[in-house]
Structures are given as C-alpha cells and as structure tokens.
Structure 1
Amino acid sequence: MQDEQTNRRVENKYRPLGELVRGVFFILFGLFAIFAEKLGMGEFRISPEAMSILGAVLVLYGVFRMYNGIRKLFFNRN
C-alpha cells in the first residue's frame, strides 16, 4: 500500500512538469509563427495577419499550460 502511494506521488510530479514543457513549446511555436517571416526564417502561404493571430493564440495557450503546471506543482496542497 505504501508503494502505491509513493508511485502515485512520483506520477503526480511528472504530470505538471509535462505541462510546463508543453507550455514552453507552445510559446516557442507561437513566437516562431509571429516572427519567422519578419526575420526571414520562413515564408508561409497564409497572410501575415493570420499568422500573427495564430502565434498569439499559441502563446496564450502556452502561458495557460505553464500556469496550470506551476499551479499543480507548487500550489496544490492535498
């Protein structure tokens, strides 16, 4: 029974870390979508306005993922 509790605790610590990592990737993809064409790193077939909107949505979703991960890691006291 004690082994089950320790395994559950370890599993619960990895999930928020995954949230943080996913958040960082979404933020990076969003920044790439916003600035890639302006910096000459890529050319997209959709309008720059649509890419900026997509980038902003990706960045916001990444911030949300990071917030969730931080909240679950540090502020969820059971």
Structure 2
Amino acid sequence: MQQERSGNTRTKVNYRSLGELIRGIFFLLFGLYAIFAQKYNLGQFQVSQTILNILGIVLIAYGLFRVYRGVRYLFHQKD
C-alpha cells in the first residue's frame, strides 16, 4: 500500500516537471517572438519596439525560471 502511494506521487511530480518545462518553452518562444516579430516582418504591433523588447525580455526571464524549476523537479526528487 505504501509503495502504491509513493508510485502515484512520483508520477504526479514527473507530470508537474513536464508541465513546468512545456510552459517555460512557450514563454521563451513568446518572448523571442515579441523581440523579433517586427524585425523580420512576422507581425505588426501598435506599440514601439522598445516596449516589445522589454516585454520579450520579461517573458524570456520567466520562461527560463519555469524551465529551471522543471529541471529541478525532474532531476532532484527526494525518494
């Protein structure tokens, strides 16, 4: 019975870390899109490039934080 509980917990932790990684990658991609969209004619925005750069940097920083948390949960599990 105790092994079943620990097995279920381990599965939830793996899904959580996978979710953190996926969300982090999406935020990284959105940040890169915000920075490079107008430069490479991938989209037109009604705000200045400076604001898009700031938004992109914030999104990239948050994405890196999410990826870090996902990797930490994935590889540093307590048994």
Q: Does TM, normalized by the shorter one, top 0.5?
A: yes
User: One-letter code of the match for 2:53?
Assistant: S
1:28 aligns with 2:29: yes
Q: Which residue of 2 aligns with 1:45?
A: 46
Q: Which runs of 5+ in 1 are unaligned?
A: none
CA separation in 1, counterparts of 2:77 and 2:61? 22
Which has the larger helix fraction?
A: 1
Percentage identity across aligned positions?
A: 51
Q: Say yes or no: does 1:60 pair with 2:61.
A: yes
What is the aligned-residue RMSD (CA, Å)? 1.1
Cα deviation for residue 74 of structure 1 reads 0.6
- CA separation in 2, counterparts of 1:22 and 1:39? 25
**1:75 to partner: Cα distance:** 2.1
Q: How many residues align?
A: 78
The TM-score with structure 1 as length reference comes to 0.92
Which residue is equivalent to 1:75?
A: 76
Secondary structure at 1:39 match in 2? coil
2:14 is aligned to 13
TM-score by length of structure 2 reads 0.91
